[in-house]
Amino acid sequence: MRHILSALVQNMPGVLSHISGMLASRGYNIDSLAVGETEDPRLSRMTFVVVGNDKVLEQVRKQLEKIVTVVRVDDISSRDYVERDLMLIKVAAPSGRRSEIRELVEVFRGRIVDISHDCMIIEIAGQEKKVEAFIELMRPYGILELCRTGRIAMVRGSEAIKPQPEEEPAQATPVAAS
């Protein structure tokens, strides 16, 4: 089963390395990982996609919650949420095939962000299956390069994943290398 975990962590150097290293050392595979600053500059949000049964999920959660720089961990996969993945894909685009590619980009609500004489860079955002479907449609044209973010997700409605008052992040101090 696929689980999406959203973790609020202190925004400081070394946190990503510390967390990913801890999970790897315990044999947990992260299918997807995205990190970015939140509305509070002291915090970053890490969105993990982990594949495994409920026992694996619970172990990953417990391990994350033990880390001092982790403020809060939520499993949002069982809730109503919005999920997105962003991709840049460079495809071969000789002049005779550009109109076909443009039409596909429009159908997928993507954007052409760069064109050269023989290729295009296209931006696609959406659910994982939409991004995967676009990749498959581009294969016959010739994928030259592909770059994807990890999944990001947010619970629908007015509920926000924020630290509880007792979880407020302390003043940031660097994380020691492990």
Q: Which of 10-30 are b and which e, b meaning 16 or more Cβ less than 10 Å from the residue's Cβ?
A: bbbeebbebbbeebeeeebeb
Confidence band, pLDDT 50/70/90 cuts, at residue 70: very high
Q: Does 109 map to a domain?
A: yes
Same domain (yes/no): 146, 87? yes
Please give the pLDDT value at position 167.
57
What confidence tens digit (pLDDT) does each residue in 11-27 have? 999 998 988 888 888 88
Same domain (yes/no): 6, 62? yes
List of E strands, 52-118: 70-75, 81-92, 111-115
Q: Which of 78, 113, 144 is the last residue of a domain?
A: 78
Q: Does 172 map to a domain?
A: no
Highest-confidence range of 48-57, 78-87, 163-172, by mean pLDDT?
78-87
What confidence tens digit (pLDDT) does each residue in 111-151 have? 999 999 999 999 999 999 999 999 999 999 999 999 999 89
Please give the pLDDT value at position 170.
54
Half-sphere exposure of 100 (CA within 13 A, CB side): 11
Please give the pLDDT value at position 130.
96
Q: Does 33 map to a domain?
A: yes
Same domain (yes/no): 69, 98? no
Same domain (yes/no): 64, 95? no
pTM: 0.77
Same domain (yes/no): 13, 26? yes
Same domain (yes/no): 36, 74? yes
Q: Which of 42, 62, 78 is the last residue of a domain?
A: 78
Confidence band, pLDDT 50/70/90 cuts, at residue 30: confident
Q: Count how many domains the chain has.
A: 2
Q: Does 32 map to a domain?
A: yes
> For 11, phi and psi rounded to 5 degrees?
-85, 90
Same domain (yes/no): 66, 105? no
- For residue 132, the domain's CATH number is 3.30.70.1150
